[in-house]
Structures are given as C-alpha cells and as structure tokens.
Structure 1
Amino acid sequence: MMMKPSLVLSGSLFAMTLLLSACGGSDDATVAPTPAPTPTPAPTPVSGFTKTATWDVAFEAKAGGELCFDIDTQKAADCTSDTWDVKAKDDGRIPSFFTNSGTSGAGKGGAVASPLDAKWVDLKKWLNGMADPVSGALDANSYIKDFAEGVFTGTNPIKSAAFEYDLAGDHKLSPNFKVFLISEDTTNPAAKQFALQVTGYYGGTGGAVSGFPSIRWVDRTSNNELSATLDASKGWVYFDLAKNAVSTETGTWHIAFNRNSMKLNSSVAGKPLGGLLAKTPDGFYTAEGKAIAAKFADTNNLAQTRALLTATDLLPAKPKWLSDKNASPLSPSAKGNYPVLDYGWYTYYGNDAEATKAGLAAAHMLKANSDAATMIRSAEGNSFARMHLKEVQYADPKNASSKKTLKFEFDIQPKS
C-alpha cells in the first residue's frame, strides 16, 4: 500500500518527459538558419563630364585665319582674349590646333595626348579629367603644354631635350647636362656662338621650388663660364646670354624659359638665330635612348660634365642649325607618305585615286578620323574636355578649294 505514491510520481515524470518531447525540447530538433545579409550594391560611378558642345570651324577657301573656342561657355571665343581654350589656325590648306598654354598662350591649358595616340572610345570611359581609368591619377605635368619645336624639343613624354621626368617615381625633373650650341647668325660661320647646359630646375626658398631652371654657358671666343638661375615659375623669362641678364620679349634675348618649357629667339639684331645639339654626356642613356635613372641621380654630374662646355669638337663640319616653330600635341607631325598623310584629326588625300578609295570626290580633300581624340585642360586649369572631329564638310563636295567646315564634338567636365 505504501508503494502507490511512488508509482504515481513516476507516471507524472514520464508524462512530463513526453510533453517536453512533443514541444521540441529534443537536441535533435532542426534550427532554421539565419538569413545572410543582403550586400550593399557598389555605388554607380558618376561622370564629371556633364555638358556637351559642338564647334564648327569654318574657313573660307584660301583665306586662312584663326578661330577659338571656350569650353566653359561652350561658345566661340575671342582669340585675343585670355579665356580661349582651343585654337584652330588655317594656312589656306591644312588646319592646325593649339591649347592656351606654353608658347601659344598665357593659360594653364594643355593636352594629355595627340589625336594620333588617343581614341574617342577610350576617352569616353574617363569619369574625371585628372584620372585615367587605366593608369590612375594624373598630375599637373600630365597635360602637355604647347611648345617651341626646335633644338630644345625632345622625344620623351614632356617633349624636352634638356630634362627627363619622374625617373625616381617622385614627379621631379632631372637635367641631362646636354650641350647646346647657339649661333647669333646661322649664315655666318664667324658669328658669336654660345655653348649652353641646363643644370637644374629647382630653386627659390629652400632651393626646392620648381620652375627655377639653372644654366651655365660660355661664349666660345673666350670660354669664360657664366651661370644663372631664373625664376620662370610664373611665366616666360627672357635671357640675354651675351649680357648675362634678364631681358624682355621685345628686347634682345637668346633663350627663354616658362617653367620647364624652353624656346630660342628667332633673331638677334636682325640676324637669324639658330641652335643645335652638340654633345650628350656619356652614361645618361642606353643605346636605345632610354634614360638611366641611376646616372641621373649621381650628385657628381654637375662637376663631371663641366668640361663638355669647352670641348673642341662641339661644332660639326656642316652644322644644321635649327630655328623654333610653335608646336602643340593637338597638331602632331603627319604620319604616312604622300599622297596619304594622317594628321591625327583628319587624313589628307593628295591624288584622285587615293581620294576615291577614301570615298571623297576629289584630290586634296580632308577626311575626318572620327575615332581620334584628345583630352584638353582649360586656360583656367580647372575644367576639362574630351574632343574629337566628327566630320569635314566642303561647300562644294567636288571642290577641295571650296569653303571647308570641321565639326568638333566635346564632352565637358565643368569647373568645380
């Protein structure tokens, strides 16, 4: 009789066990997985090129002249003003183009490439005028200024025969200590000649400010060495080698600097001025012309190259003196051979047979290379535009001498 309470208790525990099992208290129950968070989509890149424009460059037959355009206003501009960004000049036959920079104007313009080297389809991928989607961020020197094409013109990316750029990955300029000869009269072998080296680019407070080119030179009749450092950080500085003095644009001068841009005067005292490359120091370049960074970094270069200024073999037996002409990345030298010449923006067809192949009605016509393009910077330096030539139209499609109109298209990144 005393065992019944125990049996009742055991039955109660058994019932509770069944109840807990029915309520899912077992360790073997399936647990629903926690849903994975939905990833936040990457923001869609926003292009800074928010405006478009067209520019019709129309020249009367054989009249020549120049026309300018302002990418900020998207309108034609006065070529005598400071606000134009791109200029077209025509000699009555072949148009050429310039940016408001360097030897073409006082602006901060320039171009990242010539139309021979850049394509419209590639530049359409750019979201910002200071960032190449392939190579990354650009710096101020990425936009090439217009320049004086002559003895001081090089084949490197900055078009300089006197400097190399970014050899140590520090965006700095390095002089190569080449010796240039300058003649005050290229028609007279007895005329005064100077041997010149560019020896530096930095000066100012602390000696590290860019735009302060240093030079040394000798008058070859005396071989007395002189030197100077010029503040060319804010514009063109004109220098008279004979007087060892800064001059003016309208005064007597031999060479001029605008930061790293160099140019040679066309004449002195009415006589034609000219220059030539006389000597390149050993060890600075490979046989293929590639700069050797370690040599440029040698702190003894200034002393080691001094003797080159007074070398006796600087003047060739038959000197080929060069004079300057204004040049721009927008007006590259033509590629190809006559009668077909590629000028970047357009191709010239010099005879009927080649013109017919190109779909033109007559010889001496131009046909747009609509896939060619470039990126330019404004005169103010704070806006950008990619541009290409869409087509060339003639007033008389069968007459190359009739009025021609070059139709350009722009995508513009306005100033911020």
Structure 2
Amino acid sequence: MKPILTATLLAMTVGLSACGGSDSGEAVVAPPAPTPTPTPVPTAGFSKTAVWEASVDPKLGELCYDIDAQAAADCKGDAWDLKVKDDGRSTGFFTNSGTSGAAKGGALGSPFDSTWADLKKWQDGMKDPVSGALDVSSYLKDYADGVFTGTNAIKSAAFEYDLAGDHKLSPNFKVFLISDDASKADAKQYALQVVGYYGGNGGTASGYPSIRWADRASNNERTASFDASKAWVYFDLAKGAESTEAGTWHVAFNRYSMKLNSGASGAGTVAALLAKTPEGFYTADGKPVTAKFADTNNLAQTRALLTAADLLPAKAKWLSDKNASPLNPAMKGNYPEPMDAGWYNYYSTLDSAKLAGLAAAHMLKANPTAATMIRSAEGNSFARMHLTEIKYADPSKASSAKTWKFEFDIQPKL
C-alpha cells in the first residue's frame, strides 16, 4: 500500500452569543439594540487566519505549507513556506531559505523569545511594535549546522552582526581548514578566511562575500569575491572558480550563509574544522570586541594566520554539514525532567507525562504559548504561528503517528 500524506486546512470562524434574564419580579427594560459591528475590511495587516493539521508519514519524510494559499504545498516546488520533516526518529521544522531552499523565507530572529500574545500585537511583519522597523536580516535563514555555524544571533562563525548599531556584517577573519576528504590522510587541504561581505554597487551592496585561501601544500594565497545576494554560489577551491551544485565544489555561499559539499549540504566528501581565531576579536567569554572589528588594518594583520604551520590540531575533529533551522531550538531542561523544545514539551517519564495529561512516557505536548513569525518564500507576506496540539494516532503509544496542528495569523502580500 502506498503511504498516505495528509494535510487538512480548516476554516476558522468566531461566533459571539449572549443571553440574559431576571426572576426578581421587577420590570425588565430591554436595552437598546447594539450597533452592528462593521465587517472588517482586509488590510495589509494580519487579516487572515488558518489552521493546518500536518500528518507526516516517515516513509515519505516531509510535508509543506503555503501561507499565501493557506494550503499544503509541493515540497519540491518553490512556493512552500513551512516544512515539517520526520525521519522516523525526530521531527524538524524548516523555512524556504538558506540551506533548506533558495527562496526568501526565514524565521524572526530568536524564535520563541516572543509569546503568541506578544506577536498578536504586531500589525506588520516588518515592524516590531516596540523597537520599530526591521530589515531583511531580522528573518534568519536555515543554515548548515557545521563548522560555519556560530552561536551569535545570525548563527554565523564567520561574521558578527550589528556591532556598531548599523545592521552591518563584519568578518572575524577566522581560519577554517578544509579537506577534500577527511577519511584520507593524503587528501588536499585548504586554509580559508572570509574577509568581506560588501561589493556590487560601489562596494556597498550586501551579499557579496570575499574570501582568501591557500592550498596547504604550496601556501600560495588566492582571493575571490562573488555575488551571492540572490542565490547559492558554489566555489571550487582547487580551480579557484565558481562551479554548480552538480559539479565539483568545496564551499557555497548564499548571502552570509555558508555550507560544505558534504552531509546534508552536498553529495561530496568535504569536511572542515576551525583552525585559528585571531587574537583580540573576542573577550575571554566570547563576546565580540567592537573596536577591534572596526580596525581597518585587520585584513593585513590576519594574513599570516592563513599559512601558519600549526593549523591542524593533533586530534582533528572534522565536521560535515547537517541541515538546521532557527525553528528547531536546542532543548532546555535537564533529563529526565520535562524538557522544552520551543514548539512542545517532552516528557521522558510516565509520572511526568501523566501530570501533563498524557498516557505514556516519551510523549510530546504542544506549547501554544510559544510562537514565532515566518516570512513567505516570496518575501512579501508573513505569518505568526504557534503549535496548538499534537495528536497521537494511538494516545497510549508514544511511537504512534503524530499530527501537528498549527494556527496562523497571516499578513497577505500587498
């Protein structure tokens, strides 16, 4: 039997009724008829609502949703905005952006920092009611979780963001060691630094990363810059030339996102590790030193690191890429206590599960308070969303199929 993948879109309506009466024996004067409430006129604000129930068959693996159509979408197409992916062991959520897709989607920075009640106050997906207008970088892309993944707000190990309050990216000149194949001792290795982000129109347009790198066998330094402002650019370090996704490449760039030709990002065997962090760029507790990043001599002062003799650690830990998204936060809490995964809470023991109204250990329960905002693939519409329910096909078995029920308030495209 062919596995079935289902999605149900439910129309949402709100009704209001009232009744009253008196048995005191006193005359009751009927109140004046209320003035009819005018039907709201759709605006550029959050004027549409929708519910999506997504049941993902692990054999098929994924299911997608289009916030503009308010319907399930083809995950292999371009119009999907939210993806639910299940590999039979865990479930992940993704936007049509970065390493998950070539579109303009994304999740509002630090998802789950705002509650559903907080986001209900928003009138525009590009304007925070507290801090004001947002820019394109406020919506974080999906990213390759690997050597280029950082702990900052933009999840980048190569850049810092907004250090001077100007919404600009600044390179940190770290040296990454890249191997054609980490399983082979004689594989070619390259040392690489990201040294810039702006170019194009007079050198001020964003999404134009610059790199310099050296073949470890020759230590000959080479440089390249390219337009990664609209799509992924695939780069072959051996040839020093752009390639294609199906061709030979080592590193790829999409604006500030970076990935390797390995693991979830490509069919190759490329692996990498962080070899050097220049002195003075970060404090002892890892905070960026703004004044150092602003030093115009950084490009020259960090050049020698590219050909340093001690780039390869004695116990090298080479990394391949895993696909990740801001929509999948690290779990908070301490096992075996209940743990918070943003969209839901996980209950590892039967006792904790029963306290949450669940029938078995290792079950999940939706956390409707947690919420985030996503941007559409086209980049011109938005949806605030939260998970309101997780339904188990067999409520007594944690291993039974799950249905994820999401609610959306949608700001349609202009």
Q: Which residue of 2 aligns with 1:75?
A: 71
Between the aligned partners of 2:209 and 2:176, the Cα distance in structure 1 is: 15
Q: Which residue of 2 aligns with 1:385?
A: 383
Q: Which residue of 2 aligns with 1:9?
A: none
- % identical equivalent positions: 72
Between the aligned partners of 2:343 and 2:148, the Cα distance in structure 1 is: 26
Q: Which residue of 2 aligns with 1:134?
A: 130
- What letter is aligned with 1:362? A
User: Which of 1 and 2 has greater Rg?
Assistant: 1
Between the aligned partners of 1:233 and 1:404, the Cα distance in structure 2 is: 38
Contact 2:198 2:207 in 1 (8 A): yes
- Tell whether 2:53 aligns with 1:56: yes
Question: Which residue of 185, 188, 191 maps to 1:189?
Answer: 185
Q: Which residue of 1 aligns with 2:309?
A: 312
Q: CA deviation at 1:116?
A: 4.1
Q: CA deviation at 1:333?
A: 2.4
Between the aligned partners of 2:114 and 2:92, the Cα distance in structure 1 is: 17
Between the aligned partners of 2:267 and 2:88, the Cα distance in structure 1 is: 28
- Tell whether 2:332 aligns with 1:335: yes
Name the SS of the counterpart of 1:335 in structure 2.
Answer: coil
Q: Which residue of 2 aligns with 1:286?
A: 283
Q: Which residue of 1 aligns with 2:270?
A: 273
Question: Which residue of 342, 365, 368 maps to 1:367?
Answer: 365
Contact 2:261 2:267 in 1 (8 A): no
- What letter is aligned with 1:65? G
- What letter is aligned with 2:283? T
Runs of 5+ consecutive residues of structure 2 not aligned to the other structure: 1-42
Name the SS of the counterpart of 2:140 in structure 1.
Answer: coil
- What letter is aligned with 1:148? A
Between the aligned partners of 1:369 and 1:72, the Cα distance in structure 2 is: 25
Q: CA deviation at 1:285?
A: 1.3
Which digits, 9 at most, give the CA deviation of each residue in 1:299-332, with x for residues without a partner?
1111100000111121111011111111111112
Between the aligned partners of 1:273 and 1:93, the Cα distance in structure 2 is: 26
Runs of 5+ consecutive residues of structure 1 not aligned to the other structure: 1-45
Contact 1:116 1:343 in 2 (8 A): no
Write 1 or 2 for the structure with the bigger share of helix: 1
- What letter is aligned with 2:235? F
Between the aligned partners of 1:81 and 1:114, the Cα distance in structure 2 is: 27
Contact 1:64 1:92 in 2 (8 A): no
Q: Which residue of 1 aligns with 2:223?
A: 227
Name the SS of the counterpart of 2:351 in structure 1.
Answer: helix
Name the SS of the counterpart of 2:160 in structure 1.
Answer: strand
- What letter is aligned with 1:228? A
Between the aligned partners of 2:111 and 2:132, the Cα distance in structure 1 is: 20
Between the aligned partners of 2:69 and 2:307, the Cα distance in structure 1 is: 54
Between the aligned partners of 1:63 and 1:266, the Cα distance in structure 2 is: 23
Which digits, 9 at most, give the CA deviation of each residue in 1:5-47, with x for residues without a partner?
xxxxxxxxxxxxxxxxxxxxxxxxxxxxxxxxxxxxxxxxx88
- What letter is aligned with 1:361? A
Between the aligned partners of 1:68 and 1:330, the Cα distance in structure 2 is: 14
- What letter is aligned with 1:186? A
Using the size of structure 2 for normalisation, the TM-score is 0.85
Contact 1:85 1:378 in 2 (8 A): yes
Q: CA deviation at 1:270?
A: 7.8
Which digits, 9 at most, give the CA deviation of each residue in 1:57-108, with x for residues without a partner?
1134x54521111111111111111111111001124221111111111211
Q: How many residues align?
A: 370
User: In terms of mean alpha carbon deviation, does 249-258 or 51-60 score higher?
Assistant: 51-60
- What letter is aligned with 1:206? G
Between the aligned partners of 1:288 and 1:216, the Cα distance in structure 2 is: 28
Between the aligned partners of 2:204 and 2:67, the Cα distance in structure 1 is: 35
Question: Which residue of 149, 153, 158 maps to 2:149?
Answer: 153
Q: Which residue of 1 aligns with 2:13?
A: none
Contact 1:390 1:408 in 2 (8 A): yes
Aligned CA distance change for structure 1 residues 270 and 139 (closer, same or farther; 3 Å): closer
